[in-house]
Chains A and B, each alone.
Chain A
Amino acid sequence: MEPHTHSFKTALLGILVVILVGGGYWYVTEVSSKSTPAPAVVEQTENQGIVTPPQSSEPVATDGTVADPATGDVVQNTSEPKTESDLNSSGVGSTDVPAPDTAANADGTYTSTGTYRTPAGNEEVDITLTLKDGLIADATGVNRGRDPKSKKFQQLFLDNFKGLVVGKKLSEVSLSKVSGSSLTPKGFNDAILKIRTQSGV
Chain B
Amino acid sequence: MSASRTFEAIGTVWTIDVHDALSDDVSDELFRTVHACIREYDETYSRFRDESLLMRAGTIPGSYVFPSHSRDLFFEYRKMYDITHGKVTPLIGDVLSALGYDAAYSLVENAPVMQPSAWDDVMHYHDGTLTTHTPVIIDVGAGGKGHLIDLVGEVLEEHGIQNYTIDAGGDIRYRTIHEAPLRVGLEHPHNPDEVIGYVDLLNESVCGSSGNRRTWGEYHHIIDPYTLTSPRHREAVWVLGETTFISDLLTTALFFVSPEDLIAHYTFEYVILDQFGVASCSPGLPGELFTV
Hey, which bits of chain A sit against chain B, CB under 8 A?
14, 17-18, 21, 24-25, 38, 41-42, 44, 46, 136, 139, 160-170, 173-188, 190-192, 195
Chain B residues, CB < 8 A from A17? 277
User: Smallest CB-CB separation from B182: which chain A residue?
Assistant: A176
CA distance A190 to B107 in the complex (A): 11
B interface size (C-beta, 8 A): 56
On whether the beta carbons of A175 and B198 are closer than 8 Å, the reply is: yes
Chain B 256-292 interface residues, beta-carbon cutoff 8 Å to A? 273, 275-280, 289-292
On whether the beta carbons of A162 and B292 are closer than 8 Å, the reply is: yes
On whether the beta carbons of B291 and A164 are closer than 8 Å, the reply is: yes
On whether the beta carbons of B188 and A167 are closer than 8 Å, the reply is: yes
Chain B residues, CB < 8 A from A174? 183
How many residue pairs bridge A and B at CB < 8 Å? 154
Besides the known contacts A178-B187, A185-B12, 8 further A-B residue pairs in the complex with CB atoms under 8 A apart: A17-B277, A24-B275, A173-B195, A178-B170, A180-B188, A181-B170, A187-B11, A187-B105
Distance (Å) between the CB of B224 and the closest chain A CB? 11
CA distance A17 to B292 in the complex (A): 11
Q: Most chain-B CB neighbours within 10 Å: which of A42, A162, A165? A: A165
Residue of A165, A169, A175, A192 touching B279 (CB-CB under 8 A): A165
Chain B residues, CB < 8 A from A184? 213-214
Distance (Å) between the CB of B243 and the closest chain A CB? 15
* Shortest Cβ-Cβ A-B pairs, 5 listed: A180-B187, A167-B194, A191-B105, A182-B192, A185-B11
CA distance A173 to B197 in the complex (A): 9
Chain B residues, CB < 8 A from A167? 188, 191, 194-196, 290
Q: A41-B232, A41-B275, A168-B194 are in contact. Are A180 and B183 (CB under 8 A)?
A: no
On whether the beta carbons of B210 and A166 are closer than 8 Å, the reply is: no
Hey, which bits of chain B sit against chain A, CB under 8 A?
11-13, 104-108, 165, 167, 169-172, 182-199, 206-210, 213-214, 216, 227, 229, 232, 236, 238, 273, 275-280, 289-292
On whether the beta carbons of B290 and A168 are closer than 8 Å, the reply is: yes
CA distance A147 to B15 in the complex (A): 56
CA distance A175 to B210 in the complex (A): 20
Chain A residues, CB < 8 A from B197? 165
On whether the beta carbons of A177 and B209 are closer than 8 Å, the reply is: no
On whether the beta carbons of B186 and A163 are closer than 8 Å, the reply is: no
Chain B residues, CB < 8 A from A25? 276
Chain A residues, CB < 8 A from B195? 167-168, 170, 173, 175, 178
On whether the beta carbons of B290 and A179 are closer than 8 Å, the reply is: no
Chain A residues, CB < 8 A from B273? 165
Distance (Å) between the CB of B198 and the closest chain A CB? 6
CA distance A158 to B208 in the complex (A): 28
